[in-house]
């Protein structure tokens, strides 16, 4: 054997374990149990004494289960507080480091590469990577009277790397129901179909032809969750058991998540392998590797391709010093057809390559073992390469929305460790051209790609990625009941056709024409309603009094309350007879406690109108005065409303604060921008970062509050202030507010003073100016006409 650096990393063991709930001997194993059995098998597979290997472990690295892979995820049967160490304890190991990796199917290959690099750098000698899922068992037993308790409290050191969801679940994606993998991947699939000019029928046939060989391999794999061979037509023909999930996916071509599977891989240095007595015929070397990331969904130039994944595979082969033709066996991540198609397109690889594209049977058939699928692929590859000494094998592992790709090239042929150029290649990918995206889409647009989300009773919601005539990209949904648009998406070729987009606080909507849009969303009648559900409205001459009427929720706001306030302020700004508005909260405890988090916790969508929180915080201009009458707490969004108002009257009990950081949020409705501009920046920073509250007097001392009045008299104080404003010309008041807004961002005082303003021109020829001058000369009170 070629003389190697003793620190050269080598894979020496792999193990897999599985069970199905419908088979004899079903043991109801937890995720920890499954991983521990797979890890024990990996240690034994090395040919060394398992207890000696366990004692030598420096690092154990676990792949995150699905039930701890999303914010607020719940483990119905309980879980370990330190998954890697729970597994280690079952092995009798006490490693120095325990790692819990981020979400994503790239994790297994990424971890193997990382552990190998640590060993090559002399930072560790022996490391174990593993993962497992007991999703099928959890679903099966969650409601059982004798359900097991998988809770484990082991404590100890843990390097929990978090969820790693950056760019995978943006606010726009959540708002437009684009968070589940079938919907996300369908967009890429349909974009590819359109690029190739294929009909729906021809593309479905191609998906069936691609995946039929996968199901054949899965049928013979003892660890498969669905060991059943299916024909190409059976895979893509809708039926009672193969119902449509999203267009173009029926259930059989979607990753199967209900599995009970575990897999583990053992990595160590050559020196450790020799010391522990691992036979050299067990050794498999990582010849090449790469880890690259695709741009976020909205910034990808071509939604039908996966350039980062293709580049990762090419670079792994480059590091290994071989070409794709030199590879004898491969496993390409196959959560959905596009994940395989995109690699084949970019690599020039035939989808019916005689070498096969999977070793396990693929995620729809072998099973989509959470984030851990590729650990099984690596385990299968190690066994294959040991049977073919000197051959090369390729692993392609995908995570996110074709987002994160890790590739590895393996062989029993000894080779020193080689570093990759990931950082350099990532910089090149990030520097490429990208479309501009837009949050609010209005006007004619073109469908770039789309999907239909199917309920059990048929098509439910359409999801569209569109381009405005400006070229800006946006996300949108169809509106429930819009059969005309659903028909557009469900037949023929929608991509490239024109649609009409309109934006709302709850997201963008697309339909066929402006007339159709007006029918779906009739214009709101101008003016005020007779009554509102969450708001009280009172007119008193030229003053409008608006009361947030949710005292039972401390006047916190949910979408319906926000929408009513938005409507009320639209009517106020449009009503020539209303010159000043006062906003307050019902009861004595709170002006507003901000967002209704209880509403969000119940699983309901939390959105705000385009004009922002309370219909105020995102308006570019408030053309007439709005006074906040703060009675009690103004917290979070409540303070953001206050900051958006022109004037603030607070009673002595008022308290102001931005507590978002204490609940894992941020004051994104203007608080982070307005507060540092309203009070000294150092004080604002302290309030934002700590959640500390100001009382009324301190708030006034910083200029946040105009007037402090006795407890319980905020409205009286606000009315008095409004009366003082009404003594002036409403035309002058509006012009003054407009000029203040126009010059706010101009740093140079002289430039601001000399800025030409149409508001001043209009004021000088107004009837109110003439009346004001005349009344002054005649020594009488002016009679303002508001024009």
d(CA 391, CA 83): 35
Active site residue 114: no
d(CA 65, CA 371): 7
Query: Which of these is catalytic: 114, 133, 294, 640?
Result: 640
Residue at token pair 């705000």? 608
Could you give the residue ranges of the DSSP H alpha helices within 176-332?
181-196, 200-218, 232-236, 270-276, 307-320
Q: Is 68 helix (H, G, I), strand (E, B) or coil?
A: helix
Handedness of CA 236, 237, 242, 247 (dihedral sign): positive
* Residue 406: DSSP 8-state: E
Q: Is 324 helix (H, G, I), strand (E, B) or coil?
A: helix
CB burial readout 576-614, b (16+ within 10 A) else e: eebbbbbbbbbbeebbbbbbbbebeeeeeebbbbbbbbb
d(CA 464, CA 496): 12
DSSP code per residue over 627-694? EEEE-SEEETHHHHHHHHSSEEEEETT-EEE--GGGGT---TTTHHHHHHHHS-HHHHHHHHHH---E
d(CA 169, CA 269): 38
- 445 Cα distance to chain centroid: 25
Residue 673's Cβ-count burial label (10 Å; 0-12, 13-18, 19+) is: middle
d(CA 265, CA 234): 35
Three-state DSSP string of 522-582: CCCCCCCCCCCCCEEEEEECCEEEEEECCHHHCCCECHHHHHHHHHHHHHHHHCCCCCEEE
Q: Is 515 helix (H, G, I), strand (E, B) or coil?
A: helix
Q: Is 463 helix (H, G, I), strand (E, B) or coil?
A: strand
d(CA 462, CA 190): 13
Query: Which of these is catalytic: 189, 257, 294, 660?
Result: 660
Q: Is 387 helix (H, G, I), strand (E, B) or coil?
A: helix
Closest Cα partner for 455 from 495, 488, 486?
486
d(CA 508, CA 172): 9
Half-sphere exposure of 448 (CA within 13 A, CB side): 23
The C-alpha angle with vertex 121 and arms to 118 and 126, in degrees rounded to 5, equals 45
d(CA 390, CA 327): 11
- What φ, ψ does residue 34 adopt, rounded to 5°? -60, -45
Active site residue 767: no
Tokens describing residue 781: 């009170």
- 345 Cα distance to chain centroid: 27
Q: Are 627 and 543 in contact (CB under 8 A)?
A: no
Tokens describing residue 6: 């003793």
d(CA 56, CA 276): 9
Partners of residue 628 on adjacent β-strands: 583, 648
d(CA 11, CA 129): 11
DSSP code per residue over 251-271? GGGS-----EEEEEEEEEEHH
Half-sphere exposure of 165 (CA within 13 A, CB side): 14
Catalytic residues: 640, 660
């Amino acid at each position: 054997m070629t003389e190697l650096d003793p620190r050269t990393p080598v894979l020496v063991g792999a193990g897999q374990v599985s069970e199905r709930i419908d088979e004899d001997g079903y043991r109801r194993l937890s995720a920890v149990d499954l991983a521990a059995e797979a890890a024990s098998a990996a240690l034994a597979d090395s040919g060394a004494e398992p207890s000696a290997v366990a004692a030598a472990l420096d690092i154990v690295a676990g792949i995150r289960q699905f039930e701890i892979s999303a914010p607020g995820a719940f483990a119905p049967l309980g879980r370990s507080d330190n998954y890697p160490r729970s597994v280690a304890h079952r092995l009798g190991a006490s490693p120095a480091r325990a790692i819990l990796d981020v979400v994503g199917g790239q994790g297994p290959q990424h971890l193997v590469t990382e552990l190998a690099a640590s060993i090559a750098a002399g930072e560790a000698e022996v490391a174990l990577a593993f993962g497992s899922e007991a999703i099928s068992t959890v679903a099966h037993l969650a409601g059982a009277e004798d359900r097991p308790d998988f809770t484990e409290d082991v404590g100890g050191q843990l390097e929990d790397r978090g969820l790693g969801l950056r760019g995978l679940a943006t606010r726009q994606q959540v708002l437009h129901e684009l968070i589940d993998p079938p919907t996300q991947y369908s967009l890429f699939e349909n974009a590819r179909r359109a690029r190739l000019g294929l009909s729906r029928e021809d593309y479905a046939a191609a998906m069936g032809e691609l995946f039929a060989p996968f199901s054949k391999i899965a049928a013979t794999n003892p660890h498969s969750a669905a060991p059943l061979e299916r024909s190409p037509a059976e895979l893509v023909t809708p039926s009672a058991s193969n119902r449509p999930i999203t267009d173009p996916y029926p259930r059989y071509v979607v990753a199967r998540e209900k599995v009970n599977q575990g897999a583990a891989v053992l990595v160590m240095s050559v020196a450790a392998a020799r010391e522990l007595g691992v036979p050299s015929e067990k050794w498999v070397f990582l010849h090449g590797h790469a880890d690259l990331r695709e741009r976020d969904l909205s910034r990808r130039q071509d939604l039908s391709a996966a350039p980062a994944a293709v580049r990762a595979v090419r670079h792994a082969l480059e590091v290994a010093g071989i070409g794709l033709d030199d590879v004898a066996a491969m496993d390409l991540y196959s959560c959905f057809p596009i994940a395989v198609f995109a690699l084949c397109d970019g690599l020039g690889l035939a989808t019916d390559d005689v070498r096969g594209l999977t070793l396990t049977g693929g995620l729809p058939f072998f099973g989509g073992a959470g984030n851990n699928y590729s650990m099984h692929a690596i385990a299968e590859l190690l066994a294959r390469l040991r049977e073919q000494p000197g051959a090369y094998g390729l692993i392609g592992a995908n995570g996110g929305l074709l987002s994160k790709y890790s590739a590895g090239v393996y062989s029993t042929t000894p080779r020193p460790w080689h570093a990759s150029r990931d950082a350099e290649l990532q910089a090149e990918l990030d520097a490429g051209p990208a479309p501009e995206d837009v949050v609010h889409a209005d006007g004619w647009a073109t469908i770039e790609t789309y999907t239909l989300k199917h309920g059990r009773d048929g098509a439910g919601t359409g999801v569209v990625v569109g381009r405005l005539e400006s070229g800006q990209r946006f996300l949108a949904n169809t509106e429930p009941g819009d059969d005309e648009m659903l028909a557009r998406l469900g037949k023929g070729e929608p991509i490239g056709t024109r649609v009409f987009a309109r934006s709302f606080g709850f997201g963008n909507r697309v339909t066929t024409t402006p007339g159709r849009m007006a029918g779906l969303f009739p214009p709101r009648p101008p003016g005020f309603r007779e009554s509102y559900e969450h708001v009280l409205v009172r007119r008193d001459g030229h003053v409008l009094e608006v009361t947030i009427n949710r005292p039972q929720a401390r006047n916190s706001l949910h979408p319906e309350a926000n929408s009513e306030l938005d409507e009320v302020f639209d009517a106020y700004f449009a009503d020539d007879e209303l010159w000043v508005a006062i906003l307050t909260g019902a009861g004595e405890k709170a002006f507003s406690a901000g967002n209704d988090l209880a509403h969000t916790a119940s699983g309901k969508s939390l959105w705000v109108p385009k004009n922002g929180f309370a219909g105020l915080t995102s308006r570019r201009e408030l053309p007439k005065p709005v006074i906040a009458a703060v009675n009690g707490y103004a917290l979070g969004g409540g303070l953001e409303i206050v900051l958006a108002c022109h004037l603030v009257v607070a009673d002595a009990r008022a308290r102001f604060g931005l507590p978002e950081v204490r609940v894992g949020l941020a004051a994104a409705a203007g608080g982070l921008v307005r507060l540092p501009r309203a009070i000294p920046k150092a004080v604002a920073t302290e309030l934002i970062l700590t959640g500390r509250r100001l009382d009324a007097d301190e708030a006034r001392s910083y200029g946040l509050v105009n007037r402090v009045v006795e407890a319980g008299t905020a409205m009286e104080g606000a009315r008095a202030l409004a009366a003082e404003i009404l003594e002036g010309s409403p035309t002058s008041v509006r012009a003054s507010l407009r000029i203040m807004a126009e010059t706010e961002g101009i740093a140079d005082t002289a430039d601001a003073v000399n800025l030409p303003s149409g508001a001043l021109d209009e004021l000088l020829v107004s009837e109110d100016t003439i009346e004001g001058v005349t009344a002054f000369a005649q020594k009488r009170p002016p009679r303002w006409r508001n024009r």
